[in-house]
Amino acid sequence: MSEPVIETHVEVDASELPRLTPHTHPLWWGVLGAVAIEAAVVANLLTSYFYLMAQNEVWPPEGVDPPDLLYATIVLFVLPLSSVTMWWAGRGSDRNRKTQLALGVTASVGLATLALVFRSFQIAAFDIRWDEHAYGSILWAITGFHFTHVVSAILGTAVVSILAWKNYFTSERQLGVVVDTLYWYFVAGVFIPIYLVLYWAPRWL
Amino acid sequence: MTDLDPALDLRRSRHDPVPEHLAELERTWLSPPGFLGWFTHVNHTSIGLRFLITSLVFFMLAGLLGLAMRMQLLSPLNGFLDPDTYNQVMTVHGTAMMFLFAIPAMEGIGIYLVPLMVGARDMAFPRLNAFGYYVYLIGGTTFFASLFLGLAPDAGWFNYVPLSNRDYSEGYGIDVWTTMITFIEVSALTAAVELIVTIFKLRVPGMSLHRMPIFVWAILVMAFMILFAMPSVIVASAFLMMDRLVETQFFVAEMGGSPLLWQHLFWFFGHPEVYIILVPALGIVTTIVVTFTQRPVFGYTALVLAIVGIGMVSFGLWVHHMYTTGLPLLGRSFFQAASAMIAIASGVQIFSWIATLWGARIRFATPMWFVLGFFGVFIAGGLTGVMVASVPFDRQVHDTYFVVAHFHYVLVGGAVFPLFAGLYYWFPKATGRLLHEGLGKWSCAIIFAGFNVTFFPMHQLGLEGMPRRVYTYLPEMDWTFLNQLSSIGSLILAAGFALTLWNVIRSLRHGADSPPNPWHAPTLDWATTSPPLNCNFARQAVVESRHPVWDWSRDGKRGVVDGLRSDRRETVVTTLLDARPQSVQILPKPTPWPFFSAVIASICFFGLIFSPWFYVAGVFGTFVTFVFWFLPRKREEVV
Ligand code: HEM
C-alpha cells in the first residue's frame, strides 16, 4: 500500500462529556423544527383567510354574524394559564421536585381540557356551516386545525403526567418534559394570532 | 488491506481501537439481517440507500411513461394511447418525476452522505428517518398502482382547480393525487428536520460552519426550503381534499371561494420545489469539481452565499407561473425583476466553478463528464428560463411545448445529470466497487445526445404553436417531422440510461475493487471503509480545515475523539457555530415501531378518500404507535 502512515492522536475525550442534556439535546432542535413547520402552516392558513376575504365584498357573507367572542376570549386566557402551570412543572423537573412536576402537568392537562370544552360550545354556536360559503370553510378549517393540535398536546402531556406520577422522570431523564413543554407553548401561543384573525378581523376590517 | 479506515490499521498508532473493541462497536451498530430484520433498520446508510434506490425505480417507471407518450406522439392521429389514458400517463409521469423521484432522490443522497461528511455516526433521529422512508414507499407504490387500476389522476402535475374539483373530476383519481402528496409532504418534512438537526448539532469537533463542505451547505439550504415550502402545499391539498370530501367551498367561485388561491398556494411551493431539486445538485457538482481538479473551490464564501441566496429568492418567484392569470401590471413587473435576480446568484456559482477549473489539471473520469453535461444542458435551460421569465414572451409560449422543452432542460440538466455524476462518484463508497469507466462515458455521451435530440426540437414545436398536454395533433399542422425526431431521440435517451443500469448491475458483481479513496477526495466521507462500517467511523475525527483528508496525508497525522462507549450507540454533539464538543447523544437501537406507525398512518390517509372518520382514527391510531415508539427505554440504557 502506498498510502502514507497516518499518526492518530486523541484530541477530544468524550468520556467526560455529559450524556443527558435536556436543554441542548438534538431532540430539542427537532421539536423546534416541528414548531417551525406548524407555524408555517398557520401562516398559510391565515394568509388564505385574508386572500378569500379580499376576494369577497361582504365578509362574513350576508346574514352571517362573526363568531361569538365570549368563549373564545375565555380560551384566550385559559390556554396561556396552562402554559404557566407547564412552565412551573418544568421548573420542578429541572430541580428534581417530582411532585411539583406531576402536579404541574396534570393541572395543564386539566386546564387544556377545560379549554376544549369551551371551544366545543363555541364551535357548536358558529353561525355558518363549512359547506355554505368559503367563509365557513376557512373558519371551520382553522378552528379544526387548532382543535386537533390541542387534542394531540393533551394526549402527549397526559402520558407525561402518568409517567410523572409513576416517578419515571429522574433529573437526568427530563428530556421528554422539556420537549413536551416546548410544543405546549407553541399550541397555546398560536391561538393568539388565530383568535385575532378569526374573531377580530371580521369586526375591524 | 486496502479498504481499511486509517484509524483501524494497528501498525499506525497506539491510540487506535483494539480489534475486540471494534468488533463490539460493530455489533452495537449492526442492522439486524433477514427479512423481518429489514423492517427494523434505522442506520442512515441503510435508509439513505433505500431512498435512493426506490427513487431510481420510480424514475425508471416514470421514464417508461415518458417513452409511452413519445410513442403516442410519433405520428399524427396515432392510436397507441387513448385520450384518457394519455392524460393519466402524463399526470403520473409529471407527478412521479417531481414528487417520487427528484425530491426523494436528493433527500436520499443527503441522508446517506451528510452524516458521513460531517463525521457523525448516524443522524439525530434515526427512527424518524425510517418512518419517513416507509411513508414514502407506501405512498409511491400505491400511486403507481392506481395507474394500473385505471384510478390515476389526470389533471396534470399541478392539478389546477376547477378541473380537479368534484364537479369536473369524478372518481377517485384526484383523491389519489392529494393523498399521495400528503405522503410525500410527511416524508420530506421528516427528512428535512432530520437533516437540519444533524448538520447543526452532530458535526465533528472542529468543523465550524465555515469549514463545512459545500455539499452539506447545499443540503442544509434544501432542508430549510422544504421546511418553508411544503406547508403551503399541505394547506392547498388539505383544502382540495376537503372540497372534494366534505363539500367545503375553498375553490368554488360561486360560493365565495377562489380558484386562484390554489395557484398561489401551489406555486408558492412549486417554484421553490424546482430549486429544492437544483440546490443539492449544485452541491454534488461542486464536490466533483473540487475533487477532480484537486484544488479548493474558488470563492467558498461567495458560493455559500449564492446557494443561500438562491434558496431565498426562489420564494419570491412563484407568480411567474401565473403571468397569464390577469395579475396587476405592478405585480407582474415585480416578479419579472425577481426572476431576473436569480440569474445573479447562478452567475456567481458558474464563475466560481470556472475559476476553480481554470488552468487546473482536470481528471476526466465519468463523474466529470456528467458534470460537463450538466453545464451544457442546464445553461441552455437557464437561457430559455430568462426568456420565459419575461412577461411578453411568456404570454406567447405559455402552455406550449416550448415550456416542456425549457423545464426538461432545467430538470434533467439540473437534477438527472448531477445525480448520475454523483452515482458514478459515490458508487465505490456505497459498494466498495468501481463502475466501469468505458461504459460510463458511453452512457453519458448517449444520454447527452439522446436528450438533445428529444427535447431540442420541442422549442421549435412550441414556437410553432403546438400546445402541451395534447394526446395527438393533425397531419396538416406540419409538426410531424419534429415530433418524430423527438420520439426517436427518446429511444436513444432510454438506451443511454439502460447502459448505466447495466453498468451498475455488472459492477455489483464484477466491478474492480475500489481503493479507500479512489478519487483522492478531501472530505470525511472518504475517511472510512467502503462500504462504511456499521458505526461509520471507528474513531470520530477532529478536523482543522475544509479539507481534512488532504491535511492528513500531507501532515501524516490526524486528531480523533476518544471515550465514546462501544456497548451502545453514541455520537458527539457539538455547538452550532464553532463545533466545540458539547455533549454526547445516545442513539436508539433498531426497532419496528416506525414501520407500524407508517402503516397505520397510511391506512388512515387512504381511508380519508372514503370517509372523514379516518381522520379521527388516524390521530388516535398513530398516537398509540408513537407512544410505543417513544416508550421510555430501560434505565440502564439511558444513564
Ligand atoms: C426520461 C426521459 C423523459 C421523457 C421522454 C419525458 C417526456 C415528457 C413528455 C413528452 C412530456 C409532455 C407531456 C405533454 O405535455 O403532453 C413530459 C411532461 C413532463 N415531464 Fe417529462 N420526460 C422525461 C423526463 C423527465 C424528468 C427527469 C422530469 C423531472 C425531474 C420530468 C418532468 C416532467 C413534468 C413535470 C412534466 C409535465 C407534466 C404535466 O404537464 O403535468 N420529465 N415529459
The DSSP line for B210-242 is GGS-HHHHHHHHHHHHHHHHHHHHHHHHHHHHH
Give B231-279 pLDDT, tens digit per residue: 999 999 999 999 998 889 999 988 999 999 999 999 989 888 989 999 9
d(C-alpha A27, C-alpha B124), whole Å: 8
Among B102, B104, B97, B106, residue whose Cα is nearest residue B65: B97
Residue with cell 390517509: B605
pLDDT score of B631: 64
CA distance A204 to chain B (A): 20
Pick from B126-140, B324-338, B371-385, B476-490: least confident: B324-338
Dihedral of alpha carbons B609, B615, B617, B623, sign: positive
Mean residue pLDDT across chain B: 89
Is B436:B400 a contact under the CB 8 Å cutoff? no
Whether the pLDDT of residue B367 is over 60: the answer is yes
Buried b (16+ CB within 10 A) or exposed e, B223-252: bbbbbbbbbbbbbbbbbbbbbbbeebbbbb
Interval B524-531 mean pLDDT: 90
Whether the pLDDT of residue A36 is over 90: the answer is yes
Interval A106-133 mean pLDDT: 90
Interval B124-140 mean pLDDT: 93
CA distance B407 to chain A (A): 27
Amino acid code (one letter) for B61: L
d(C-alpha A201, C-alpha A203), whole Å: 5
d(C-alpha B405, C-alpha B457), whole Å: 8
d(C-alpha B99, C-alpha B179), whole Å: 12
Give A47-88 pLDDT, tens digit per residue: 999 999 998 888 888 888 888 888 889 989 999 999 999 999
DSSP character string of B410-434: HHIIIIIHHHHHHHHHHHHHHHSBP
Q: Which atom of ligand 1 is nearest to the CA of B86?
A: 16
Question: Which residues in chain A (57-96) have CB-CB distances under 8 A to chain B?
Answer: 61
Look up residue B244 and give its three cell numbers: 372534494
Q: Where are the beta strands (DSSP E) in chain A?
A: 7-13
Whether the pLDDT of residue A14 is over 80: the answer is yes
Interval A164-168 mean pLDDT: 82
pLDDT score of B2: 37
Q: How many CA atoms lie within 13 A of B498 on its CB side?
A: 8
Residue B189 neighbours by CB under 8 Å, 6+ apart: A37, B226, B227, B230
pLDDT score of B9: 44
The shortest CB-CB distance from B227 to any of A36, A48, A152 is to A36
pLDDT score of A33: 92
Report all structural domains of chain A as residue ranges with CATH numbers, in order of start: 25-204 (1.20.120.80)
Under CATH, what is the fold of the domain B43-590?
Cytochrome C Oxidase; Chain A (1.20.210)
pLDDT score of A99: 87
d(C-alpha A95, C-alpha B166), whole Å: 57
Interval B572-588 mean pLDDT: 91
CA distance A98 to chain B (A): 17
Which pTM value belongs to this model? 0.93
pLDDT score of B346: 83
Q: pLDDT-derived band of residue B214, with 50, 70 and 90 as boundaries?
A: very high
Give B485-506 pLDDT, tens digit per residue: 999 999 999 999 999 999 999 9
C-beta atoms of B249 and A133 within 8 A: yes
Whether the pLDDT of residue B1 is over 50: the answer is no
Look up residue B106 and give its three cell numbers: 436528493
Give B599-636 pLDDT, tens digit per residue: 988 888 888 888 778 877 877 877 777 777 776 554 44
Give B615-624 pLDDT, tens digit per residue: 778 778 777 7
Domain ranges, ordered by start, for chain B:
43-590, 591-632
- List alpha helices for B358-416, DSSP H: 366-388, 391-397, 401-411
pLDDT score of A94: 79
Residue with cell 464564501: B301
Could you tell me how far CA B75 lies from the centroid of its own chain? 35
Mean residue pLDDT across chain A: 87
For ligand 1, say whether the CB of B388 is within 6 Å of any of its atoms: no
pLDDT score of B199: 96
Higher pLDDT, B10 or B460: B460
Q: pLDDT-derived band of residue A122, with 50, 70 and 90 as boundaries?
A: confident
pLDDT score of A3: 53
Interval B186-203 mean pLDDT: 94
Q: pLDDT-derived band of residue B638, with 50, 70 and 90 as boundaries?
A: very low
Interval B209-227 mean pLDDT: 95
Give B294-334 pLDDT, tens digit per residue: 999 999 999 999 999 888 888 877 777 777 776 777 677 77
The shortest CB-CB distance from B125 to any of A5, A6, A30 is to A30
Three-state DSSP at B572 gives strand
How far is ligand 1, taken at its centre, from the CA of residue B170, in Å?
25
CA-atom Rg of chain B in angstroms: 25
pLDDT score of B409: 96
Question: Cβ of B261: how many Cβ atoms within 10 Å?
Answer: 22
Q: pLDDT-derived band of residue B18, with 50, 70 and 90 as boundaries?
A: low
Whether the pLDDT of residue B363 is over 50: the answer is yes
Among B58, B51, B160, B62, residue whose Cα is nearest residue B111: B51
For ligand 1, say whether the CB of B404 is within 6 Å of any of its atoms: yes
pLDDT score of A143: 93
Whether the pLDDT of residue B639 is over 90: the answer is no
